[in-house]
C-alpha cells in the first residue's frame, strides 16, 4: 500500500514522497500482481454536485475493485432542489457511515470545507477552479510511463488555464516531480500570477510548442465563462488549438494529453485526439489504478 493519507484534498501541500508512493502503488496495482480487497465491507459515497463521466465512473470501478460498495449520489433527484445546503447534504450522507466520500462541487474549497464536517475520508474529485488532484496524479502516471523520470522535462499545458482545476493540480504535481511547466493560451485565460509559481507563461502556441516534451490540451470551459474571454471557437482553434498541422511539426516522441471532455476541433483536432500521439484513452485507463491507490492510501 502507498503511504497513508488522511484524505486527498489537493496536490498543494503534498510531498514528493507521498506522490511517488501513490504512483508506485498504482503501477503495482495496474500490473495486476495483487488484487487487494482492502475496502471489503466498506462503502464509498460518490457525491457529485457537478456532472462527470470519467472521474465518477473511474472512482466507482476503483472502489469496486477494492471490494467496496459504492453509493452514487447526484444532485438530480436529491434535496438540493429543495434548498438543502452543501454541508447539510454532506453531514447527512456522512451520518450513514460511508468510509470515504468522493466529492465534486462547483465551488473552490468545497471538499476542504466538507472534510471539516465529516468523519469519512474526503477525496476531492474537482472543486470549482481550485484543484483536481486525482486527475493530476493520473496525468503524471501516464507521462512517467512515456517519458520516464519527469525531472527537467518541459510539459506544456495549453488553453483555458484560468478556469482549470486540472491545470492548477498539474502545475503543482509536475513541479513536485521535477518537471518544468509551461502554460500557454489567450492572454485573458492565462493568469499572470502563475509566473510567481515558477511556470513559464506565453500566448503564442507555435513558439510554446518548441522544445515541449509533452503537450496537455485543456477544454475551453464554456460553463465557467462569465465574460467574452476569447473571440469565437473558430478563432480559438486557429490560434490555440492543436491542429493536425501543428502536431505534424512536433518531434515523433511528443505525446498529447487531454483530461476530457473534449471540444473536438476547438482545442484539439479530431485527427490529433484519435491519432498516434494521443494518450487520451491511456489517461482514462490509468485513472482506475491511480484511484485505487488513492482509495487504499486513504483507508
* Residues within window 220-239 making contact with ligand NCD, judged by CB under 6 A: 221
How many residues at the interface with ligand NCD, by CB under 6 A? 11
CB contact at 8 A, 297 and 4 = yes
CB 154 to ligand NCD: min, Å: 22
Residue 55 touches ligand NCD, criterion: CB under 6 A = yes
CB contact at 8 A, 183 and 199 = yes
Residue 105 touches ligand NCD, criterion: CB under 6 A = no
Q: Which residues share a beta bridge with 219?
A: none
CB contact at 8 A, 73 and 46 = yes
Vertex 5: Cα angle to 280 and 147 (nearest 5): 35
Residue 132 touches ligand NCD, criterion: CB under 6 A = yes
Residue with the CB atom nearest ligand NCD in the bound state: 219
Catalytic residue among 99, 132, 168, 258: 132
Catalytic residue among 28, 54, 224, 239: 54
Nearest to 166 by CA among 200, 124, 225, 198: 124
CB 95 to ligand NCD: min, Å: 28
Instruction: Give the DSSP H/E element, type plus range, for residue 246.
Output: helix 244-248
Is 104 one of the catalytic residues?
yes
* Residues within window 139-158 making contact with ligand NCD, judged by CB under 6 A: none
CB 51 to ligand NCD: min, Å: 8
Residue 259 touches ligand NCD, criterion: CB under 6 A = yes
Q: Which is nearer to ligand NCD, 46 or 55 (CB)?
A: 55
Residue 208 touches ligand NCD, criterion: CB under 6 A = no
| Three-state helix/strand/coil letters over 79-134 | HHHHCCCHHHHHHHHHHCCCCEEEEEECCCCHHHHHHCCCCCEEEEEEECCCECHH
CB 172 to ligand NCD: min, Å: 15
Residue 247 touches ligand NCD, criterion: CB under 6 A = no
Q: List strand residue ranges (DSSP E) for 110-234, in order.
A: 121-127, 154-158, 180-184, 200-202, 214-217
CB 56 to ligand NCD: min, Å: 9
Q: Which residues bind ligand NCD (CB under 6 A)?
A: 54-55, 126, 132, 135, 165-166, 219, 221, 259-260
Amino acid at each position: 500500500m502507498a503511504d497513508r493519507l488522511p484524505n486527498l484534498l489537493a496536490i498543494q501541500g503534498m510531498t514528493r514522497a507521498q506522490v511517488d508512493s501513490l504512483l508506485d502503488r498504482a503501477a503495482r496495482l495496474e500490473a495486476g500482481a495483487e488484487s487487494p480487497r482492502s475496502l471489503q465491507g466498506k462503502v464509498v459515497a460518490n457525491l457529485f454536485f457537478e456532472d462527470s463521466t470519467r472521474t465518477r465512473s473511474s472512482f466507482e470501478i476503483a472502489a469496486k475493485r477494492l471490494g467496496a460498495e459504492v453509493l452514487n449520489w447526484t444532485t438530480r433527484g436529491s434535496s438540493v432542489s429543495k434548498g438543502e445546503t452543501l454541508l447539510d447534504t454532506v453531514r447527512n450522507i456522512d451520518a450513514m457511515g460511508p468510509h470515504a466520500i468522493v466529492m465534486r462541487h462547483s465551488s473552490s474549497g468545497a471538499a476542504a470545507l466538507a472534510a471539516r464536517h465529516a468523519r469519512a475520508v474526503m477525496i476531492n474529485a474537482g472543486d470549482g477552479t481550485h484543484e483536481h488532484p486525482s486527475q493530476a496524479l493520473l496525468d503524471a502516471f501516464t507521462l512517467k510511463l512515456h517519458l520516464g523520470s519527469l525531472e527537467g522535462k518541459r510539459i506544456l499545458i495549453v488553453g483555458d488555464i484560468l478556469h482549470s482545476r486540472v491545470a492548477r493540480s498539474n502545475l503543482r504535481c509536475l513541479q513536485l516531480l521535477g518537471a518544468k511547466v509551461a502554460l500557454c493560451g489567450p492572454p485573458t485565460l492565462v493568469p499572470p500570477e502563475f509566473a510567481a509559481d515558477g511556470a513559464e507563461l506565453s500566448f503564442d502556441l507555435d513558439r510554446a510548442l518548441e522544445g515541449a516534451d509533452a503537450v496537455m490540451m485543456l477544454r475551453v470551459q464554456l460553463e465557467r465563462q462569465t465574460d467574452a474571454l476569447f473571440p469565437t471557437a473558430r478563432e480559438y482553434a486557429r490560434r490555440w488549438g492543436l491542429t493536425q498541422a501543428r502536431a505534424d511539426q512536433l518531434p515523433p516522441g511528443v505525446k498529447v494529453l487531454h483530461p476530457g471532455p473534449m471540444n473536438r476541433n476547438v482545442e484539439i483536432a479530431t485527427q490529433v485526439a484519435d491519432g498516434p500521439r494521443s494518450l487520451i484513452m491511456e489517461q482514462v485507463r490509468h485513472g482506475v489504478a491511480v484511484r485505487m491507490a488513492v482509495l487504499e492510501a486513504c483507508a
